[in-house]
Each structure stands twice: as structure tokens, then as C-alpha cells.
Amino acid sequence: MWNRSACNDVMKEILTRHTPVKIKERIYRENVALPFDGFRIKIGTKGVAEIHYRNARARKYAEDALKEMETIGAEAGVYADHPDFMLRGLVEGFYGTPYSWETRREAVEFLARHKMNAYFSAPKDDLYHREKWREPYPKETLEQIAALNALAEKKLVDFYFCLSPGKDFRFSDGRDFAALCEKFAAVRAEGIKNFALFMDDIDPKLSEEDARLYGSAGRAHAALIDRCVKNVPSERPWLFCPTEYMQNFDTEYRKDFREAAETDFIVFWTGYNTVAEAVGAEDGERVKSSFSRRLALWDNYPVNDFEPKRRLYLGAVKNRSPELKETHVGYVANPMPNWEASKFALISQALYCWDGARYSPEAAERTACAELAPGAEEAALSLVRRNGSGLFGENYRLRERFAKEDLAFLDGYYEEQEKAVGTLERNLDKKTSAALGELFRYMLAEAKLYREARAGAIREETIKEMSDCAYRTQDQSLLEYVKEKYGVPAELEEERRIWWKTEEGEDA
């Protein structure tokens, strides 16, 4: 029997099922009545598989599902599946060194394998995306953009070209809008079909001339996205990231924006904080109402371009309501500049946005570890569990153990850590091992420091070795213990603290 697992390996609905059969014939039928990217497979007792699909992607998903069914023993019956969100993907939207073109190609391949369908190109430190948005891309860069888009089309992933002109856009100067249109037109000429406008992380204060014309930033931004929608054709709906992208309550900016906006587009927001501890169903309802537009969640996880920057977030995404599909049409993840390390969390996000009701973070972590560390799954799980996000749970799991000096537990903990690193160094592929190398070095030094503390013979060289590593583990309780008990200077970095605002806009 083919049953859906907690990790979404099979389909949402098994409508009927009978006896095992061998597939002898496949009949394909396009069916626009199905959900976006959805499919339905009917397998007859004589081995005829009738595949109904919404679009080309859905046909590919159906073929993959049928192949999996045949591997484990197909049964006569009717099966159906579709994603929770129409738009599923990632946004290269972090601060720091942008991805190389090779990494971007790998990312497109990764998205396609995990039933994600969108790639948003918006690296904050691409000068031509943000600082020099008026200037045309160099010819070689346009060629690379076109090549990436061609690969995305081949893999059935929608490539979105994005611009962020908000730092110095002059709303009352027609020359700036003309420059913006020219920039979009240049990439449209290279075959790019989908577009987005971002006005995040800027000072919304208008110049005197802009204020006289529009009155407020919300109205000026609404007018700008309206003009883009009307003047720059996009195959998929335009997406817009507003300046006030993280509040889960209404604001004057949003009131002005929704009153002024005339066209149809999708609005990004990030949850109630830049990096949200949780995003609930009520949040979605309030924010959809405040913009009066369809929503897409820009999930700033596993991105690590904030303080502290010495973390790799490998754990599964948590605390995203399965009911967000009722108010959102899209979900995109903002990865880390460290692409290989980002894959652990991204696999969990792909599973969540396909089927949130059946999503399990623990099962998703096992799925990610099985894929990324074949033959070393348990060691990878040990790594992942030491490198989650403090936003999703307790930051200092070891603090109580050190306070009680529970040496039996701590001995086992650090012994497991050393063994896990050794196993992973032997089993991971070269790219993943290299991407995690600094974290591995820290974890081995951390275990060494624990043994030194256990023996009462701490070496400052060990602490310096840990300090010199580019990354550190989530739990800093060992360094805290060493500092308090032995008075040895240790560099402590608090995990990112949570802050948010209430519906009334006051600090919580």
C-alpha cells in the first residue's frame, strides 16, 4: 500500500485503491480545472494510467509520482496531489556577497528537484540591483541573466528579475521612471518574463517635491508599482515588497497604499518581524486586509545576514501555520550566502509549502539529512540539532546541565559531537564538507574545551581557536560556564533576540 508519509513523499488524496498492477499505458490529459501545479492519476485494473495535469510542471510532478509508485508497487486507484501555495521558491535577497552564476544554476536545479517553482534574483549587494539601479547591466551580465533564465525555463522554474530603486528614487521626476522601465526592458529583451519591485529597507521619507505630488510614501509607492504593472508586461503577476513589510497590524503607510493602488499584484511581507518566530493564521488575515492584495510570505530563514553573523541555520523551519495557504498565494525563503549549508533548511521549507497540514519539522530534518548526507544520516541529525535557530525554541539547552554539572550527560553530548563531525567529514560530498568546514572546526575545538574544563586545565589557545572560526554552534553555555567558573575570558554571542509589536503598534 502506498501511504503518504509525514514528509510529504506521496499524495494528499488517495481517492480509491485496489490491487497492485503493472503500468502498461499512459494517457495524458491537460485539465485546467485542477489546482495550480496539481495533478490527478487514475490507474485502471488493466494497467492504464490516465494522468490529468494542470500545467507542464504538474505533468512532470505526476510523472515523478507515478515513477515512485511503480518502484514500490503501483495499485489500481485514483490519486491526486497539489501544492498549498501557487508560488514556491527562494529569493536571493540577502546582504553580502551575491551568489556566483554557478551557484545560481545549482539553486535552480535544486528548486526543480524539490517542487519549488520560483527564483527571485534580488541580491542586496548587487550594485546594479540597488545602488546603481539606473545604470544598465554590463553586456556579459545580461548574457548570464539570460542563460540562467533559459535554464530555469528548461527546469520549469519561473525566474523573476527584481529591482530595488527606493534609496534615491525621485517619484516626481519622469526621468527616473523612464530609467526604471529601460532597465526592465533590457532584461525583457533577453527573454525574462517575470518581474518584481522591492522598496524594502529604505528611508520612506519623501522629498518636498514628491510629498507635494503624492502626500505620503504609501501613495507614492502605490503609484510606482501601478505604473510598473501597466508599462512592463509580466507573464506571472508582478510582486511588490513594501517598506513596511513586517508589521502584522495596519499602519498609515498601508492605509495610504491600499487606497491608492489600482492594479493587481502580489505583496511580500516577512511576518511580524524581519525574522519571525512564528507566522499564524490570524497574522495572514490581518496583513491581507491591511494591503487589500494577495500575499506571499518572504521568510527570512535560513538567512544569516543579521547579528550574530557567525551562525549557520541548519534546522527545519518551524511555527508557520498550515492555514497560511488561506491568505497567501506564495512562500519564498531567503537563504544564507552559504548556499550548501542553506539546503538543509530549504528542503524543510519545500516540504512545508507543498503540504503544511502534514508538515513535521522533525521528519523534514530526517528527509534533509538522508538526502544531503547519505550513509551518515544520524551524524547529520546531530549536526542539525546543534545548529537550529534560537527563534524557534530554547537557545541554551545545555545551561541547566552545566549548572548541575551533569557530567554524564555532557560527556556523552560532546563525545557524540566529535563522532558526528568525524563521520560527516568522511561521508559528505566535497562542496558540502567545505561549506561546513569552519563549523566542524569549531565543534571539534568546543569538544576539546569541554574536556579541558572537565579536567580543570583550560587552554586559552583552545578558546582562541574557537573565536577564530567563522561559525559557531547555537548553544554558548560551555563558554559561559568556563567564563563564570574559571574566569577565563570567552567571547559570548547572544542568539538573536525576538522583538515584535502588538496590533496597536506598541513594543511587546
- Find how far residue 436's CA is from the centre of its chain: 19
Distance CA 366, CA 132 (A): 43
- Find how far residue 368's CA is from the centre of its chain: 14
Which residues fall within 8 angstroms of residue 502, CB to CB, at 6 or more apart? 249, 508
Length reported for the chain: 508
Contact 348, 317 (CB under 8 A): yes
Burial class (CB in 10 A: 0-12, 13-18, 19+), 344: buried
* Bond preceding residue 237 cis, omega within 30 of 0: no
What angle, rounded to 10 degrees, do the helices at 174-188 and 217-231 form? 40
DSSP notation for 403-428:
HTT-HHHHHHHHHHHHHHHHHHHHHS
What are the cell numbers at 131? 545602488
Distance CA 2, CA 71 (A): 11
Distance CA 284, CA 297 (A): 9
| CA-based nearest residue to 55, from 74, 75, 82 | 82
- Grid cell 544520516 is found at 377
Helix H or strand E segment including 331: strand 328-333
Distance CA 483, CA 486 (A): 6
What Cα–Cα distance (Å) separates residue 39 from each residue in 3, 10, 53, 155?
A: 17, 12, 4, 18
The strands making up 75-81's β-sheet, listed across from edge to edge, are 13-20, 75-81, 39-43, 48-53, 25-30
One pLDDT digit (tens) per residue for the chain, 508 residues: 233 333 344 566 665 555 788 899 999 999 999 999 999 999 998 999 999 999 999 999 999 999 998 888 888 899 999 999 999 999 999 999 999 999 999 999 999 999 999 999 999 999 999 999 999 999 999 999 999 999 999 999 999 999 999 999 999 999 999 999 999 999 999 999 999 999 999 999 999 999 999 999 999 999 999 999 999 999 999 999 999 999 999 999 999 999 999 999 999 999 999 999 999 999 999 999 999 999 999 999 999 998 778 999 999 999 999 999 999 999 999 999 999 999 999 999 999 999 999 999 999 999 999 999 999 999 999 999 999 998 887 667 899 999 999 999 999 999 999 999 999 999 999 999 999 999 999 999 999 999 999 999 999 999 999 999 999 999 999 999 999 999 888 777 777 654 433 333 333 3
Q: Residue 21: its pLDDT value, please?
A: 85
Q: Residue 502: its pLDDT value, please?
A: 30
Contact 348, 106 (CB under 8 A): no
Give pTM, 2 decimals: 0.93
Distance CA 470, CA 198 (A): 31
Q: Residue 382: its pLDDT value, please?
A: 97
Contact 336, 302 (CB under 8 A): yes
Contact 319, 278 (CB under 8 A): yes
